[in-house]
Chain A
Amino acid sequence: MSNTEKIIIVVLGNWSNVPEGWKQIHNKIYENCKTYNKCVNHEILTYNSRNTNYHFVVFNEDTDPIGKEVVNFINGTTNKQFAIAVHYNSNKLDNVSIAVNNLGNVYTPKSFSRLTDDQIWKALNALLECICKSCGNYDILFNKLWQCLVPTSIDIAHSLRSQILTPFIPFHLYCQINNEIKKTTDDKKKSEWTQESKQWKEEILEICYAEIKRINNNKILEEFFKVAGKSQNELPELFNHLSNGIDDFMKIDLDSCITTFANDLEEVVNLIESGDQI
């Protein structure tokens, strides 16, 4: 990660009554361009450290449409990671979030407020002061803000666990119902279930099976274990039955296997929560 170029994008207001608004950053970077409000010649402000891996980019919240402008900027760069902070009062968080939603190299934007006890604002304020006063701690303060804006290990673990387990849940539900129907002596129920079972397979389980294969192919499970600093020793039982079609997959004891698999993932999440890494 230390070699990855990081860019923090911030959407700021002018804050003419407060030293750390868009206007002040603009006047610092473009010292000879003292505009009253938003300068149309310098709409995107970029500040780099001597370590050129850390870039700080400021958009004015009056830029319209802000989402499109941010996306254009991001698409104009390559091989970088982006974290975004949007001034709460600008009401632009949704515009920006929706615009960057499908970009793989951008973390979910977060809002900050100068009015509350806000960790993001504290870190951002320190960085803005540093830029305005040309202090020597830019890289340290940049990374402090970066940590506030990107997901923590536990956030990533929860997100990946959800992504991995979700396509298994319909199989888990289906198997339980199927097992109950097998036990019943109600022939009408059994007959109705034959039709329902077909719908389950066609409308739901086939799609889930394809998603499980995608998760396996994209090594998302491996990514999950890496968050805990753990390497995946062996593939869970469930994934050993993916090559011969859904019917073969559904022959295994899915109820038990999925429950065990979920418990294994839970253990890893617990490890991360407790701050331990293997």
Chain B
Amino acid sequence: MSIVTKPQIYENDKILKEAIIKTLFSLNKATDNSILINISYSENSNGNTIYPGMKYILHLRGEHNDTTPVLFYGYVRIEYLKKKPEASILQSPAVEYIQMPFKVSELIRAIDRLQDINRISKPLDKNSQKILLEEKKEKIRSFKHRGDNIYRAILLNAELGREAIHEYPTKYPGQLDRIKIEAINGYLKEYKALLPFVKTLGIKGSDDIIQHLKNAKKSVEIIKAKSSSPAEAVKKAIDCAGEIKKVCDILSRVSKG
């Protein structure tokens, strides 16, 4: 008799999840080295994803190199799913799908097929790898796009500040107060979360990005301290904008496709 441990089941409906657990227990079916997941399983907001459960596994395999065999289940028939790019993970090794309502004999056969599989070398099929790669590139392009906005906003305030000190050379230009340290801190924090993606893409010059962001932050700290002259503060604002622009220029090397 197999020892039945608590299986890894990803299902939002608590009652259905409990029913599946009880079924596996009654069948004495060990699934401790498999994942059972509803194609509609979602941890949080779905956004624009139609099969969030599949997306969850795509990320689990692609980003964490997890090779646990997966049994997807759902109400959609497999012929319809196979036409969907969002379901490309069905082509990956050690992945099965059964349509609900299913016979328990079908469930057992699917689990057995998964458990018969030895070590898999590549967790994702080629199409799923492409999808994941494009997602990473998209995240970096969005990050760069935000950087463009930050750079332009800082530069605009710096230029307005420069105009102001032409008229009032000794007065600290109020426009520089619009440059927020929180924006730079937030951007730096966001970049640190993106760092693993940037590294996998091998973007030229990306090793310098954190230093550029730290330089930008330092410039804003000097501006906020108001310990320098108004002219120097404006120069620091321009320097800050320059550092952000350097980051954006590096990240613009992420190509489409």
Contacts and interface: CB of A to CB of B under 8 A. Distances in A.
Contact of B19 (A16, A114, A165, A174): A174
A43 interface: no
Interface string B47-74: 1101000000000000000000000000
B75 A162 contact: yes
B75 A196 contact: no
Given A89-B145, A166-B13, A177 B26 contact: yes
B150 to A, nearest CB: 11
A60 interface: no
Interface residues of B, number: 36
B75 A165 contact: yes
Contacts of B22: 173, 196, 199-200, 204
B77 interface: yes
A105 interface: no
Name which of B45, B80, B104 has the most chain A CB atoms within 10 A of its CB: B45
A76 to B, nearest CB: 23
Interface stretch (A1-9, A45-53, A91-99, A236-244): A91-99
Interface of B: 13, 15-16, 18-20, 22-23, 26-27, 40, 44-48, 50, 75-77, 80, 100-101, 103-104, 138, 141-142, 145-146, 148-149, 152-153, 156, 178
Nearest to A14: B149
Interface string A138-162: 0000000000000000010010011
A262 interface: yes
- Chain A interface bracket (under 10, 10 to 19, 20 to 34, 35 or more): 35 or more
Contacts of B76: 158
Contacts of B156: 16
Contact of B77 (A115, A177, A196, A266): A266
A148 B195 CA distance: 33
Interface string A218-236: 0000000000000000000
Looking at chain A's contact residues, the main secondary structure is helix
10 contacts: A13-B149, A89-B142, A89-B145, A94-B44, A113-B138, A113-B142, A115-B138, A155-B50, A168-B101, A170-B19
A193 B26 CA distance: 8
A166 B17 CA distance: 11
A273 interface: yes
A97 B45 CA distance: 6
Contacts of B178: 37
A165 B18 contact: no
B15 A170 contact: yes
Contact of A165 (B48, B100, B148): B100
B47 A111 contact: yes
A66 interface: no
Contacts of B48: 110-111
B45 A203 contact: no
Nearest to B13: A166
